[in-house]
Amino acid sequence: MTEQILQPFTKTAGKPMVTVLLDFGFHYADFVLRPDLLSLTRLVIGEAERFPEIRRNYHRSSPQQALSGIIAYLQTLTAEGKLEVEDFELAANDLWSLMLSTPLDLYLHIPDLAMSPAEIHRYLFNGIRVFLKAYSTNADADLAELEAFRTKTTKQ
């Protein structure tokens, strides 16, 4: 399960950071906004008090592993001088929260919600934009690359 979310981080050779972050965002959205996974998440949250071990196992097997993978990628980018990060756990949480916290929250609370891909992409692009402003060592160039990609995808 986690491998699917983190797949973009396994093929980064020669790819610009912005492209990899976008690939991750698209994979992450496709995965966590699936109806079956949303139902499972609602069930785990709903039964967390009655079955704390299930909650702990679920968290360790998916969200925590995904966070660890994001942290590892951010550590690589920092070592390469592309990001400036003091606390990798906070930066990783910033990244995935900025990208999809609102759509995920809406889908968890409104099961029949149907956001368009354009609406979801709006959140992804904005989240990455804010992340780059906070952590990129070359924010102007990275933001220009992000904007070029956003403009290209909205015209298609």
83 forms bridges with which residues in the sheet? 136
> Residues 66, 84: contact at Cβ < 8 Å?
no
> Residues 9, 24: contact at Cβ < 8 Å?
yes
Angle of CA points 75, 13, 22, to nearest 5°: 70
Instruction: Supply the pLDDT for residue 40.
Output: 81
What residues make up the domain containing 136? 2-7+14-155
Instruction: Supply the pLDDT for residue 100.
Output: 93
- The CATH number linked to 42 is 1.10.357.10
Q: Following DSSP, what letter does each residue of 77-131 receive, concatenated?
A: HHHTTSB--S-HHHHHHHHHHHHHHHHHHHHHH-TT----HHHHHHHHHHHHHHH
CA distance 107 to 29: 11
N-terminal to C-terminal alpha carbon distance within the chain? 30
| Domain count for the chain | 1
Stretch among 1-5, 36-40, 46-50 having the lowest mean pLDDT: 1-5
CA distance 71 to 43: 27
Place of tokens 């951010």: 74
CA distance 125 to 103: 13
Q: 50-87: per-residue pLDDT in tens?
A: 888 877 777 677 778 889 999 999 999 999 999 999 99
pTM of structure: 0.87
Q: How many residues does the chain have?
A: 156
